[in-house]
Amino acid sequence: MNISVGRRPATVVATAALLLLAGCGGDDGDGGDGGTAADGLTVVAGFYPLEWAAERIGGDRVSVTSLTAPGAEPHDLELTPRDVAGVADADLLVYLGGFQAAVDEAAESQAGDHAWDAAEAADLSLTAEEHGHGEEEGEEHAEDEDHAEGEESTDPHFWLDPTRLAAVGDALAEQLTELDPDGAETFEQNAATLREELETLDREMTDGLTGCRVDTLVTSHDAFGYLADRYGLEVIGVTGLSPNSEPSADQVAEIADLVAERGVTTVYTETLVDPAVAETVAAEAGVETAVLDPLEGLTDESAGDDYLAVMRANLATLQEGQACS
């Protein structure tokens, strides 16, 4: 499954890293960061929401690192040799299959039975349309009918529905218990606490997004499908599923017309994504912009220091931008 355009360079880099490691041969030294914790499990997560969930559920029994650095855009992650070594050494790799091509490759070639794909627990039931292609990918996609413009692809952004993230947390607790049976009670209790907090957030969002005058949500890229589906909104991503895609002038004009027709008053730019295209749509339609955070990673500009805080900031932004009562 190819969700994000422009991923081949990341895969090439990951493959090169694997070859470099193979050439180095066995090493009796400490190696990478992944599997050398003095005690407890070492967990490597593909990107922030999975990292946050693993930290919350594992507690003191788990040391968690993320392959995606703070402030980095995760779709096109490139792995360094140290990253790949960390995956190989970790007790568990937690990733989302199809979301980060380089991580998928490392999971298959390095993590083996210690890789856990969160996709099944997340129930990736939504799809969205790819609207265009990045400049570097034009020739590749012209030759590849599997990635034709307008094709429906699986939407990976499950974590923006708190109930789906809670389900992933429950399943992750089971995975950790298999590796550390002595920690079963801790993992179960932590998962239950996390579920309670996420269900509280879900109730807040349900209440806060009820009765919105505007039910069309226009965002930089189509990252908010699960949020929209959960809370009765319709989402339109200017660039489709991939933040690296570039819509045509006709597509931008069409979305601008739709903004006017539906009484949309706010077009949302995003953290980690160039706001230029969304700002162009807003300017053509004569409406405001505001920032929503798809929580693919935290930055210094994030409106909170963890998932819960940022989601509540998103809620406040949506209540204003969607004219919710």
| Predicted pLDDT at 11 | 42
The mean pLDDT values, 10 residues at a time, for the chain of 325 residues are: 35 43 39 48 98 98 97 92 97 97 97 96 89 43 43 92 98 98 98 98 98 95 94 90 78 91 95 88 94 93 95 98 93
* Measured distance CA(269)–CA(278) in Å, rounded: 6
pTM: 0.83
Residue 188, number of CB atoms within 10 A of its CB? 16
| Predicted pLDDT at 149 | 53
Tokens of residue 59, six digits: 């507690």
Going along the chain from its start, the domains and CATH numbers come out as 8-122+161-200 (3.40.50.1980), 209-321 (3.40.50.1980)
- For residues 241 and 222, the answer to whether their CB atoms sit within 8 Å is yes
Closest CA to 291 of 305, 301, 281, 280: 301
CA torsion 53-56-59-63 (nearest 10°) is: 40
CA torsion 49-50-55-58 (nearest 10°) is: 150
| Predicted pLDDT at 150 | 59
